[in-house]
A and B are shown apart, each in its own frame.
Chain A
Amino acid sequence: MVDEKSVSASEPLDLIRLCLDEQIFVKLRGNREMTGKLHAYDSHCNIVLGDATETIYYLESGSEDVKSRKEKSELVFVRGDSVMSIADASNIGKTNA
């Protein structure tokens, strides 16, 4: 079922639709990033990611260096108000591998 409507990308959210079932990279508020497979989204940028890996950046007290830790989740809903940007992960490559 490939009609014009489902292929065209005329507005920003259409780009998210094209990422459905793909690996995506999401930048989040609170110094967080997440990669995972996009299973669902809505107009608020609420999203559901499968096999997600979250990276949290933080400062240890008394140190200037930014550290990071990772957390995994098999299936997670992310509230849209935390989402700053969404990108196709295949275009980015691994961050901080």
Chain B
Amino acid sequence: MSYLLSATCAVPAAGAVLTAALPAGTSEARRRTTKTVALAVSVLTLGLAAAIAVAFEPGGARYQLTESHSWIRSFGISFSLGADGIGTALVLLTAVLVPLVMLAGWHDADPAAPEGSFESKRRTQAFFALILAVEAMVLVSFLATDVFVFYVFFEAMLIPMYFLIGGFGDRAGGPDADRQRSYAAVKFLLYNLLGGLVMLAAVIGLYVVAGDQGQATFSLTALTDAISSGKLVIDPNAQRALFLGFFFAFAVKAPMWPLHTWLPNAMGESTAGTAVLITAVVDKVGTFAMLRFCLGLFPDASKTFAPVIMVLALIGIVYGALVAIGQKDIKRLVAYASISHFGFIILGVFAMTSQGQSGATLYMVNHGISTAAWMLVAGFLISRRGSRLIADYGGVQKVAPVLAGTFLIGGLATLSLPGMAPFVSEFLVLVGTFSRYPAIGIVATFGIVLAALYALLLYQRTMTGPVKAGVEGVRDLKVRELAVVAPLVALTLLLGVYPKPLTDLVNPAVNDTLSQVHRTDPAPAHPVAATNGGEQK
């Protein structure tokens, strides 16, 4: 039994405790120590995540590097972890983004309150410890192969996120920013807690149903094996109820239309780094769990509800994009764009084709990278001018060309320009959807026009035209900020031109998921003959 997976999760957890315990103080030196320690821990985690990716053999078993530690034996709960291709891809995404988020938010937690007050003394420690805590919990969620363990960390994640949203804002809000921020934090917590509670009921229900048939366990692998081999047969009605219980929690977290309204508040009021954590990392747990738990545990119910869910996802795509076009606040615009993108991910998951699901998995990674680039640059811009309102900007490219250029790249990635990573995943999702549900596929394609509109409108309004009053003083990106953006831009381009390593990683897991739901790809009507080069080309 290897301990690589638990070590990967334990390092940020221990780092969070260590960071929180570092001596408090308001001096620059104390703060820098805290930040350096936290950053070092996150880089170490990245190293361990890379080790997982290296150790993982794409052609091997679905779950690799598995480990299991007994926890609550009487309920069949064990702390068991295992990495599959999809989980590994998302672990890598998380591990890459966290150090960049820290670096981007380097000064976000510098004391805002007067010297010596309690809040200011521990502020920096708290901020970085909370980020590490979120990372640890997200990593466990991506690796857990026990339903109960997953549930615990899925829920526990809310606590540090709540404090990150409520405690640290971007200092660009209006006069009632504090009230808005605590509103956003409470809304985030209540929404997700509600989803989590429904899921808890479903988790217990699953245990009871499985226990009735002599399969009293929370182990995901044991349950899915029993279900796909026919040893465990869940009554269709019970299966639908349980599916909805799980799906509700994930749909809130993802978030899917119409359960999305917490996201714009949470992303708008928090710091840009926290917003990236929410949309690029924490929300991915929701879509990831749809793929792993909903489809794996309730294959028949998933097929029953797939058309309804796809229509909701489709509404989300168009709705999110249209509302994004009408936004006045940069960060809320990015949030609505993300809602539109989550629609694509959910579409790909429930299209139940290999293109759709591979595309959805790639989309999770690519959306994480591209939105991080877009949002973090937006955050740099906002911190310079001290306003989130689009109307306060204009002509930035004249005074800060590099900032404007990277912002444009982020926007182009968001609108899925071919040659950039999101295009690959978006096209796969569209093709995968189209081959099973042509009408939904065609309407979803409208999303690419709307995406061009909101991304380029934002660029045009903020970056071009004559220099607006108040923008003259905006300085171009600093070295630290370039160091944040450069890896993201490089990854966006690299995964757009050569996504093969990532597709090779996720394809086996996707095929396994499809076989769990007993779905095969629709065959082409008139397949090209192999001799024409269809296979060889």
Do A and B come from the same complex?
no
Q: Chain B interface (Cβ within 8 Å of chain A)?
A: none
